[in-house]
Amino acid sequence: MLYRIAGAVLLAVSLSVPRVAAAQLLMQRDVSLRMALTIAETALAACGVNTSVAVVDRAGRLRVFLQGDGAAPHNLELARRKAYTARTFRRTTAEWAARTEPPNDGQRMLADVIPLRGGVPIQVDSETIGGVGLSGAPMGGEQEEACARAGIAKVADQLR
């Protein structure tokens, strides 16, 4: 009799406790070293020796950085922050800068983001897996964005 009562209590408790979803493995696409290097080399070739290129992965970590022979020292930080901003907000840095103009500029206070043109997200379908940022191109942000897109286009067949 005691076992029946204990069994009934155990059954009642198990039915009243919400079920936790079974653990599952997450499968995430990311920027490989080879992909990042191809993007960076292509972008640098398109924009010239005064340019620096940064590629970040899906977590926003620097994956590859290339500095042209004539690039200024500050280009490293600008390129990295542009890549990070494009990855984090899943849009070009030009689009993000336009959306965060005053009075909607609170996001600009976040660490490592920058409202300058020259950053482009790396996307597979609707998933953002990284970002590319350039700094130092002779014609500025518009050219930097075009060079970033050229780098991404070089690996487009891998992004499908």
pLDDT at 70: 97
Residue-by-residue pLDDT tens, the chain, 160 positions? 666 666 665 666 566 666 677 899 988 999 999 999 999 999 999 999 999 999 999 999 999 999 999 999 999 999 999 999 999 999 999 999 999 999 989 999 999 999 999 999 999 999 999 999 999 999 999 999 999 999 999 999 988 8
pLDDT at 2: 63
What does the block give as tokens for 104? 């909607």
pLDDT at 80: 98
Sole residue written with tokens 């909607």: 104
In order of 3, 9, 20, 52, 109, the CA distances from 14 in angstroms are 16, 9, 12, 59, 48
- Topology at the third CATH level for domain 30-159: Beta-Lactamase (3.30.450)
| Ramachandran assignment for 48, one of left (phi > 0), alpha (psi -120 to 50 degrees), beta (any other) | left
- Cβ distance 67 to 54 under 8 Å? no
Measured N-to-C along each axis, helices 141-154 and 33-47 cross at an angle, to the nearest 10 degrees, of 140
- Cβ distance 108 to 100 under 8 Å? yes
pLDDT at 160: 82
Using alpha carbons only, how large is the chain's radius of gyration in Å? 23
